[in-house]
Structure 1
Amino acid sequence: MKYRLLGNTGVWVSEISLGAMTFGGENHPVYGSLGALGREDADRMVAAALDAGVNLIDTADVYSDGESEELLGHALRRRRDDVVLATKVHAPTGPGPNDAGWSRLHVMQALDASLRRLGTDHIDLYQLHNFDPLTPFEEVLAALDDAVRQGKVRYIGCSNLAAWQVSRALGVSAARNLNRFVSVQAYYSLVGRDAERDLVPMAQAEGVGLLVWSPLAGGFLTGKVKREGASTEVGRRNTDGHIDFPPVDRERGHDVVDVLRAVAARHGVSVSRTAVAWLLAQPAVTSVTVGARKIEQLTDNIGASGLVLTEQDLADLDEVSKLPPAYPNWIQAAFASARQPNG
């Protein structure tokens, strides 16, 4: 396993991290289809990840209504100090009007509940799970800063925020001398490269770590989703289109998978491993979070840490998957040479 620095923290995290969304939820209407791993399976999954060198594990208070945190806490009971433990807050955790969002009231209550479920006295990386348009950054960052000063949280981060929102939050932290986001967790894959337009350059410019979720696009990039459309379920996606998360342009996506298969064949590895290895070759990426139902899936994805794609591999995959530049990126690129005296 290889390790990368988490933003400017000086903390080393494994470039492959374990996502615990598949833990729990056997009878849950949403999470039941994502894995529904029980205690024994979750224990084995965590042990296998740690034994392979993974030291970053991510969950959220909303996953399986908190059961994911409970199972993860149990699995880490003897190895808590071996991991950088990350969880998230924002999504509804109850029926009340204040059981969601970024308010100090909810964040403090949710943090204490997560600590109880995880069976720990601190969370290493506490992340805002999504944007709350009702709560200003000044409010939530002050609450998170208090949590750090109380020793309940080591670092703070965010997930699913736009680049301008992260930048605004960093500005508020700087102006008010509050703890700043050290990472942003974002969807990024060969069939979902939107992050490259603004999030990736922002992360590089601000020294913020980029943590990737759904690197296989909900199972689409396993290579098991066929053009002809069988009805086999694959992770968060089935091939008849009833599950489409994250959304994928299927025609374009199948073209990407065709090239992925060719690159994977050159190295004698799986399509999934190749898709993860491509992400690890991208600038700004700190760690790629993988979730699994079976140990074999986890082991295969972890193997991406040792897979080095050639320049030709990367060029082939870039060509079939790249997005057209969006405004103002394209006009800035068009005039960039004007600042190069020898360009």
Structure 2
Amino acid sequence: MKYAVLGRTGLKASRLAVGGYVFAGVNKARGWDPYSAEGRQTAIGTIHAALDAGINYIDTAPSYGNGHSESIIGEVMRTRRDECFLATKVAGHGQDKAAVIRNVEESLKRLRSDYVDVIQFHGGTYSAADTNHILNEGPLDALLTLREQGKVRWLGLTTEDAYSALDLVESDQFGLVQVNYSLIHQSASLHLLDSAVRKNVGVAVMRPMTSGILQRLLERLEPSWLEAADPFEVCLKFLLSDSRVGVINVGMRWPSEVQRNVALVDRYEPSFDIAELPRLTAKIYETDDAANGF
């Protein structure tokens, strides 16, 4: 397994992380139900397989099945807590200090741990009012209090909309940002990823495999591409090729998925840095000319 240091946190995390949503999401078409007794045991086995393979970062949230994902992970943490970095989330929108503290403490009980390595504000899109509320009206103060008590180590945030999280990243209050960034969602590359590098904020990625959106598009627009290449593999290679990305959160349901993804990470060596990929038409033309001797 390959590892990366997550900015100022200093956490040396595996490039591949266990994404916890799958332990709360039912997918009947694929025979997946983590709420059944069999599904729960399979999920627990998958987490053990991930730790055995060198994956040392697990990310979840209380909203994943109303605590179900955290409870499954907690079963493994009873005996293997010291083998991984554990990250979960808490809602910051509209909550006061007391509510944030209470919710994090409830997560700790489900996770069967006295602390989490990273606690993240669970956000989609942040308005100016949301940002002000988090920073100045109680939620941030709650996390700082929990950190003083030793219940959380590092503060982070998650975002579906990279641009809306820029002010929070620039605030110097957070050691990690988790962003929706993938082959088809690349807005973070225009600003947030560079800002995170400049502020020494670690970067984790959500929805690395596009949550299946790319696959659905190809099925309808150009199914032959699905026969020529594995879109999941291409998506993972894209992120492994970006020097700004630390942790890639992948939802893995079965041990076989863990083995497949770990094998890809181990064997893949990027040939160029996605961070240097031109993002404007003029720059594309300029670099094309230079590459062809003009």
Q: CA deviation at 1:106?
A: 1.9
Deviation at 1:152, TM superposition (A): 0.7
Question: Which residue in the other structure is 1:82 paired with?
Answer: 83
Match of residue 234 from structure 2: 274
Q: Does 1:294 align with 2:254?
A: yes
Kindly indicate whether the alpha-carbon contact (under 8 Å) linking 1:272 and 1:301 is maintained by their aligned counterparts in 2: no
**Alignment correspondent of 1:109:** 102
Partner Cα separation in structure 1 for residue 114 and residue 219 of structure 2 = 51
Check if 1:160 corresponds to 2:155: no
Residue-pair matches, total: 271
* 1:186 aligned to which of 179, 184, 198: 179
In 2, distance between residues paired with 1:226 and 1:136? 36
Deviation at 1:167, TM superposition (A): 4.9
Between 1 and 2, higher relative CO (CA 8 Å, sep ≥ 6) is seen in 2
> What is the CA–CA distance in structure 2 between the aligned matches of 1:168 and 1:227, rounded to whole Å?
35
- The aligned counterpart of 2:263 is 303
Shift of 1:119: 1.0
Deviation at 1:165, TM superposition (A): 5.7
Residue 136 (structure 1) shift = 4.0
Residue in 2 that maps onto 1:341: none
Query: Unaligned stretches of 5+ in structure 2?
Result: 285-294
AA in 2 matched with 1:274: V
Tell me the distance in 1 between the aligned counterparts of 2:219 and 2:252. 25
Q: Secondary structure at the match of 2:246?
A: strand
State yes or no: 1:214 paired with 2:207. Answer: yes
For the residues of structure 2 that align with 1:72 and 1:149, how far apart are their CA atoms?
Answer: 25
Tell me which moved more, 9-18 or 289-298.
Answer: 289-298
Structure number with the higher helix fraction is 2
TM-score, structure 1 normalization:
0.70
1:146-205 deviation line (CA, Å, top 9, x unaligned): 1100111011100007666655345655xxxxxx21111011111111111111111111
Structure 1 residues 47 and 278: CA distance shift in structure 2, 3 A: same
Residue 70 of structure 1 contacts residue 118 of structure 1 at CA under 8 Å; is this kept in 2?
A: yes
Cα distance per residue 1:233-271 (max 9 Å; x no partner):
xxxxxxxxxxxxxxxxxx5xx59x93x875x5xxxxx44
Distance 2:96 2:206 in 1: 25
Percent sequence identity is: 31
Taking the aligned partners of 1:140 and 1:261, their CA distance within structure 2 comes to 48
